[in-house]
Amino acid sequence: MNATARCLTGLITAAFLVLLAACGGSEDKSSSGGIAISGGAPTTVPAAPNTPVPSVNPTPTTEQVLLFSAFDRIKQLPQQVCPPGAAQSACVSMLNEPLSFTPPGKPVVTFVRMPQDLSKGIGIVRFATAPGGPSEVRSLARDASGAWKLFLRLDGPQPPPWFVQLPGDAVACSYNIVPARLLTEPSMTSNGPMLKDGDKLRLEEFRIESEGIVTPGRGFYRVSALAAGWVYSDFVANALWDGCPSIR
């Protein structure tokens, strides 16, 4: 190759390199116009899983607990008070009407009024019986642990005189057995001053001690007057109609 040919070859090579640089012949794709571009395809963020929210059972109301307890106590009763295999709603319901009776020689007395105040420890329910039979009205009461137990049956010709809807008025009564006492605690081992028959009592709360399945239930009334304390249920008389037979 002569000198002229070598010169032309050099010029052509140089021109090619200049053109290559001007046209972006580099394979570097990491930049464009001086702005950095992250390499690779965009990352797809996985969707959060649809975690189910656990269901939370609502806290049952006092009335629901009372009705469940009443339905559970049916099997303890000596007589059938519910159709066999019936659901709770068919067997027991809250009493929703007043109860009245006529004491001998006296006007009608309403001894249960609506609405009921279950916070005082006594609730009244109606038990269904076999089809065609009469229903039964019974009271339940709470024990020291908060469990509802059968207390007294309230239908019939006359309710027990030691039943008092709370809050309510009563009088102390020995029933010619032993004098009532104003106890410091709801316990038969507790002590306190003796009460006279006819002493006026304001009853605020009840706590059942022994359940009334065959025989009447018994427990303690908390009183606020004539002084604060507790009185055994056997030694109170409902002031609405019974002024204590010991002093008649």
Q: Which DSSP string corresponds to 52-78? A: PPPP-PPPPPHHHHHHHHHHHHGGGSS
The least confident of 48-57, 207-216, 235-244 is: 48-57
Domain ranges of the chain: 62-247
* pLDDT value at residue 83: 74
Give 232's contacts (C-beta < 8 A, 6+ positions apart).
180, 181, 183, 188, 218, 219, 220
Say which residue, 8 or 124, is predicted with more confidence.
124
User: Is the pTM of the predicted complex or chain greater than 0.85?
Assistant: no
Strongest mean pLDDT among 26-40, 82-96, 134-148: 134-148
Give the range among 50-64, 143-157, 209-223 with minimum mean pLDDT: 50-64
pLDDT of residue 78: 75
Range 193-199 average pLDDT: 96
